Amino acid sequence: MRPIPTLTARRRGFLLIGLGVILLALPLLDPNQADIDIAANCTAYSALALGLNIVVGFAGLLDLGYAAFFAIGAYAYGILASYQLQPPWTPDWQFLADIGFVSKLTIEGNAVVHFTFPFWLMLPGSALIAACFGIAFGAPTLRLKGDYLAIVTLGFGEIVPIVARNWTSLTNGAEGLNGVAPPHAFGYSFGINSIPYYYVGLAIVGLLLLVSVRLRDSATGRAWMAIREDEVAAGAMGIHTTRLKLLAFAIGAGFAGMTGTFYIAKLQTATPDMFDLPVSVMVLVMIVLGGMGSVWGAILGAVFLSLLQSLFLPALNNAVQGFGALIGSGFLQQLQITSASELIFGIILVGMMLYRRQGLIPAARKPPLLTTEQMHASVTRGAIDLPVHPARHARGAKPDLMIEGLTVRYGGLHALKSISMRVEPGQIVAIIGPNGSGKSTLFNAITGLVKPFDGSIRFAGEELIGLRADQILKRGIARSFQNIRLFPQLSVIDNVMIGQHARLKSGPLGAVLGLPSGRAEERAARVRAMALLGMFGNRLTPRADQLVSSLSYANRRRVEIARALASAPRLLMLDEPTAGMNPAESIELAEQIGELRALGLTILLVEHKLDVVVRLADHVIVLDHGDKLAEGKADEIRRNEAVLTAYLGRAAAHV
């Protein structure tokens, strides 16, 4: 597989302008109505694929009922711009008639209402309606793990066409809506001329493309990708995962809803079978083919599959049947290749997953290679030259972290038995203990990843139990994980910027509108992330654009610490930060942790290397089998008989 060469910004610009000119001039280059109709359908499928790409590609949520939102957008316009509903006329309708949304009809002497909602209003209107349905159906299930969403959306995708088939008074059932009004502009009705639809479709794709790209490159896009890579770590980094998943789901539904209105206005009819499962699968195949998470890939996949069905397969069909006639083969003459298009979709799905998972246009750009100099440069020590701990909270006498009677149970097993401890502000407290003694469970309980059975955890006087992981991070507690939970397919700098998620104020709307304040904030976040990486000298700075998965183990640990620091915590919790580091690296890191304390940070540390603990910790707590065995100064602990027995084994204790 040869990677697609990265284009320079200048060439990219030229390419885009060239492409735009060709697309705009297409009706002049090819005046054939049928071809323009195919092109207009390509725009509709591209818009659908862009929406699903946000859900599946960006946020990693498998949505198998996507066509349902397409249907909702389609029926919303279809019902509000046809003769389907004809409630009796009352004067109350007059104000809608005045603005042209309805008109008064007289059928067999009865005055009835005829809905004539304008197409241009229904484009955003349907997007909004579909997004509301997306929220209504996503909200109950998005709290759960991703897999369930697939099956729920599969069911939802089935239900919507069933409702459309059976709720005849609203939808005219299986026969479908007829006489849906075509759009009007400047007194001109689009009718059945494909050219205006083609231009409207192009405009919609352009809009959705812009929205997709801006969201992708914003804090929202980074948060989606963090959720896709590791939902637990995303929550621990301050991302409200449920809300962001719902946002992705709603935006994807909105894209589909808008496209539904466009598509129905073009066809001027809507039947339930236009929105069945095969449509959802087809859109999924489009983004898998193009590359999940890749905006241009979604469009390429959509155009390719549309053309496959409307041009390539019929052409191949004719060719094969013609060849069959030529050689007198009845089998070839009878062969209907066009009906095998769904079989081809299935083969594309499996083939892409097995052989080219990243799609034709991979979403992840190839990171720049390190120069030989950078690779062989001698390691330098960095310095912390930024206020990691902004003095926004006065340090009082109040203990920063106060744990009382904390009990955690896994089934019948007591992982922590009524643990009480306190961490004073500005201290480094180390927790040691054999494997399985409850150290990581303690960390998980403090950061909201496990729900304690009993007890209380108060931080600066505020109870943490019951808060979500992202809320706890916002209170000023950030952590690293024992088994490193970075976002492996994102770059080093993106990982650190995700650590700042909770501090960034600009939301998705600002990103879509491209507000200057949002851009300035992004730039500042990047500068700050680079400064944090600078803490580790030249170990990480030259690798800022590399994928985390390409880093050494020790460097991943460093990135995780930088990511935790990026949230500007008051309490930093490090779970075995020196694991996998050699002695020199461990001591280097220990000194850096010491420097963090000097900046006023409170640090809670799980560590196995006793020399690191002795060097750093003001206070040591020993856990064993969920009990607090001992606590005190490092030197005292080192001489404590009970600790030696538990930690080193009885035999060693008596040597």
Partner 1 sequence: MITPIELFAQQAVNGLSLGAMYALLALGFTLVYGILELINFAHFNVFMIGSFVGLIVLQALGIAGQSVVLHGAPLIFALLLALIVTMLVCGILGVLIERFTLRPMRGVRGPMAMITTIGVSYILYNVVLLATNAQALNFPDPLATQDFDIHHVVIRAKQILIWIISLILMVGLDQFVRRSRLGKAMRATAQDAEAARMMGVDVDRVVSTAFFAGSALAGAAGLIFGLYYNFTQYSIGYSAGLRAFTAAVLGGIGNVPGAMLGGILIGLIETMSSQYIATKWADVIIFSILILVLVFKPAGLLGALAPNRS
Which residues contact partner 1 (rule: CB under 8 A)? 56, 60-62, 64, 140-141, 144, 146-148, 150-152, 154-156, 158-159, 162-163, 165-166, 228-229, 232, 277, 281, 284, 288, 339-340, 342-343, 345-351, 353-354, 357
The angle that helices 219-229 and 194-216 make with each other, rounded to 10 degrees, is 80
CB within 8 Å of 299: residues ≥ 6 apart: 46, 49, 50, 205, 209, 290
Report the residue number, 17 or 151, with the smaller CB distance to partner 1.
Answer: 151
Cβ(120)–Cβ(208) below 8 Å? no
Q: Report the C-alpha gap between 316 and 113 in whole angstroms.
A: 50
Cβ(229)–Cβ(62) below 8 Å? no
Stretch (H or E) spanning 534: helix 516-534
Report the residue number, 292 or 460, with the smaller CB distance to partner 1.
Answer: 292
Report the residue number, 75 or 459, with the smaller CB distance to partner 1.
Answer: 75
Report the residue number, 126 or 141, with the smaller CB distance to partner 1.
Answer: 141
Report the residue number, 291 or 476, with the smaller CB distance to partner 1.
Answer: 291
Q: Which residue has the tokens 């880093």?
A: 551
Q: What is the separation, in whole angstroms, between the first and last Cα of the chain?
A: 60
Question: How is residue 25 written in tokens?
Answer: 């001039």
Report the residue number, 63 or 400, with the smaller CB distance to partner 1.
Answer: 63
Taking the complex as a whole, the smallest distance from the CB of residue 604 to partner 1 amounts, in Å, to 20
Our CA angle for 451, 453, 457, nearest 5°, is 70
Taking the complex as a whole, the smallest distance from the CB of residue 52 to partner 1 amounts, in Å, to 12
Report the residue number, 66 or 77, with the smaller CB distance to partner 1.
Answer: 66
- For 431, the 3-state DSSP assignment is strand
- For 489, the 3-state DSSP assignment is coil
Taking the complex as a whole, the smallest distance from the CB of residue 263 to partner 1 amounts, in Å, to 23
CB within 8 Å of 49: residues ≥ 6 apart: 283, 286, 287, 290, 298, 299, 301, 302
Single-letter amino acid, residue 178? N
Report the residue number, 304 or 345, with the smaller CB distance to partner 1.
Answer: 345
Cβ(591)–Cβ(525) below 8 Å? no
Taking the complex as a whole, the smallest distance from the CB of residue 551 to partner 1 amounts, in Å, to 17
Q: 132: burial class by Cβ within 10 Å (0-12, 13-18, 19+)? A: middle
Q: Which residue has the tokens 């600078």?
A: 534
Going by their DSSP bridges, the two strands 401-410 and 454-459 should be labelled as antiparallel
Report the residue number, 157 or 499, with the smaller CB distance to partner 1.
Answer: 157
Taking the complex as a whole, the smallest distance from the CB of residue 156 to partner 1 amounts, in Å, to 7
- Nearest Cα residue to 470 out of 228, 224, 239: 239
Q: Report the C-alpha gap between 351 and 288 in whole angstroms.
A: 10
Taking the complex as a whole, the smallest distance from the CB of residue 137 to partner 1 amounts, in Å, to 8
Taking the complex as a whole, the smallest distance from the CB of residue 459 to partner 1 amounts, in Å, to 23
Question: How is residue 48 written in tokens?
Answer: 């659908």
Q: Which residue has the tokens 């949002």?
A: 518
Taking the complex as a whole, the smallest distance from the CB of residue 143 to partner 1 amounts, in Å, to 8
Cβ(559)–Cβ(486) below 8 Å? yes
- Nearest Cα residue to 603 out of 631, 573, 568: 573
Report the residue number, 133 or 262, with the smaller CB distance to partner 1.
Answer: 133
Single-letter amino acid, residue 211? V
Taking the complex as a whole, the smallest distance from the CB of residue 202 to partner 1 amounts, in Å, to 29
- Nearest Cα residue to 494 out of 287, 234, 297: 234
Q: In Å, how far are 81, 181, 258, 287, 523 from 120, measured between CA atoms?
A: 12, 12, 10, 28, 36
The angle that helices 66-80 and 33-52 make with each other, rounded to 10 degrees, is 120
Report the residue number, 60 or 125, with the smaller CB distance to partner 1.
Answer: 60
Taking the complex as a whole, the smallest distance from the CB of residue 558 to partner 1 amounts, in Å, to 23
Single-letter amino acid, residue 542? P
Taking the complex as a whole, the smallest distance from the CB of residue 68 to partner 1 amounts, in Å, to 12
Taking the complex as a whole, the smallest distance from the CB of residue 290 to partner 1 amounts, in Å, to 14
Report the residue number, 22 or 162, with the smaller CB distance to partner 1.
Answer: 162
Cβ atoms within 10 Å of 344's Cβ, excluding its own: 17
Please name every residue paired with 602 in a beta bridge, in sequence order, or none if there are none.
571
CB within 8 Å of 576: residues ≥ 6 apart: 482, 606, 607, 608
The sign of the torsion formed by the CA atoms of 458, 459, 461, 467 equals negative
Report the residue number, 201 or 272, with the smaller CB distance to partner 1.
Answer: 272
CA atoms in the 13 A half-sphere facing the CB of 224: 26
Taking the complex as a whole, the smallest distance from the CB of residue 5 to partner 1 amounts, in Å, to 26
Report the residue number, 26 or 349, with the smaller CB distance to partner 1.
Answer: 349
Taking the complex as a whole, the smallest distance from the CB of residue 112 to partner 1 amounts, in Å, to 29
Report the residue number, 381 or 451, with the smaller CB distance to partner 1.
Answer: 451
Report the residue number, 275 or 536, with the smaller CB distance to partner 1.
Answer: 275
Taking the complex as a whole, the smallest distance from the CB of residue 104 to partner 1 amounts, in Å, to 35
